[in-house]
Amino acid sequence: MADQSSDLAHFVRRAVNLSVVLVGVLASAAAVYEYFHLAATGRLNIYSQLVIMAVALCLPCGVLLVFISRARFLKPVIWAVFFLGSLHLLAFVSISLLVDSDVSLAIQHGFWIIVVQVCLFATFDRRTALSLSALLFAVLLAIVVLYLYVGGHNPLTHVHGGSLIQLLIATGAILVLLGGLSSLRELALVETARAEASEENAILLRASAEEAKAERQTAVRALIEAEKAAQARDSFLASMSHELRTPLNAIIGFSQILEMGDDVIAGQPEKKLEYVSDIRHSGEHMLTLINQILEYSRLESEGFDLNYADHDVVGLAEAAMRKVEMLKDANHVRLLRQWDTQLNYTIETDERALSQVLINLLSNAVKFTPEGGLVSLKIEPDDGGGLDIEVRDDGIGMAQDKIAYVSDPFFQIGDQRSTGTEGTGLGLSIVRSLVRELGGKFEIQSRIGEGTLCRVRLPAKIGPATPLDEAANETPLAAISA
């Protein structure tokens, strides 16, 4: 719509400019013709000669100025032509009627007043053009009335008087017609502007509606996420109250027994060692829970402070497996190492972050693997020079609809995963955040009754910082086969 309006306006400007040029050419031709006509009829005087020469020179200069300036000086030229031309025409009509009594010559010049009126309405706004044209008509009317009155001519019986009346009627009719057409033009412009404004308003309303719809959807998603987060926090608090109370009760209870002295456990030295061992295990469990909460809180509040360097991933994997050795023995789970000792598994990474990732994944797999099960850690190079690290267990797995949420903060599978397990629900959330900062991708695939596979893809070198979006960084893959 805007392009069409622009093209139409450009076309109108070109048409107006061309019209002005043609009018200037015709007026110059008329001036030249008038000179030879007056000379041939013996009516050429000094005033006529000067005026015709001035018109013959000024009109082409005005047309040339309009053409060169691309109509920037159109209105000043029209103003100049109006004033000078109107004065000339009215003076010539007055002289011809009142001095020379040459009605035919007066009528010839009087018709050019109509041309001046047309130029006024084509260039200026309706009120200005109407006022100036009315002024011209009024002066012409006064000159004709004065001529008829002074000469005592009856316009009904006087031949030339009738021609003058016809000139006045024609001039008045043109004035009325041009006024009506200019009013119609302004009405059309108003309606066009109103239609364009309505269309623009409709477009703005549609855009606003779409924006409001998008904002509403965003708000609904944010509300859903907030509700999920609130439910997760409530579940976390309920879980943590149990997780912390259980080892604390054990520590307090066994400590009270030991405080009673040898009288209570006389003859049972193995019980004393068992109570001390239980106290230590309960303390270690509490320390693990608190460390996970503090680590997650630090990552969320302070961000990541990673120091990249070349590290042997196999060495980090061996250290992580040693740290879960006690948990593995307690659950009677086997650990399997799967990598080629002849290959080099060195990549650019942060030692502490990658170690935390490996420990969390191994601990999670061991914790949710039943007695006698198998947990494997596999390392192999990928096609891009990076590494794929896979931690697989043959536990009971998880439902497909839970995979997308399992790495959310505080999310726990609960009874669908196993019963009696301990934890904060932060292990995989920490893994997800750390892997993202290491420039890698974290993927999970699982099926109930068949186990779970967690895969970490890491690049060989850390490139420019390009944050991965959540969808690309957490890819729930298809279920693993048996």
Residue spans of the domains in the chain: they are: 73-303, 306-476
Kindly report each contact of residues 222-231 with a partner whose C-beta sits within 8 Å and lies 24 or more positions away, as own/partner: 228/408, 229/409
| Band of residue 11 on the pLDDT scale cut at 50, 70, 90 | low
Kindly report each contact of residues 327-330 with a partner whose C-beta sits within 8 Å and lies 24 or more positions away, as own/partner: 327/363, 327/366, 327/367, 328/366, 328/375
β-pairing, 441-447 vs 374-381, is unpaired
| Band of residue 207 on the pLDDT scale cut at 50, 70, 90 | confident
| Alpha carbons 252 and 147: distance in angstroms, whole number | 131
Which of 111-125, 275-289, 319-333, 414-428 shows the lowest mean pLDDT across its residues? Answer: 414-428
Is the pLDDT at 416 greater than 50? The verdict is no
pLDDT given at position 380: 92
Amino acid at 148: L
What are the distances in angstroms from CA 396 to CA 202, 367, 369, 453?
Answer: 58, 12, 7, 12
Whether pTM > 0.75 for this model: the answer is: no
Q: b/e map of 116-130 (b: 16 or more CB within 10 Å)?
A: bbbbbbbbbebeebb
Q: Which residue has the tokens 């309706």?
A: 126
Structure token digits, residue 101: 């009594």
Q: Does domain 306-476 have CATH number 3.40.50.10320?
A: no
| Band of residue 415 on the pLDDT scale cut at 50, 70, 90 | very low
Question: Which among 232, 237, 223 is positioned nearest to 428, based on CA atoms?
Answer: 232
- Which of the 8 DSSP states describes residue 70? T
| Alpha carbons 262 and 420: distance in angstroms, whole number | 33
| Alpha carbons 473 and 444: distance in angstroms, whole number | 11
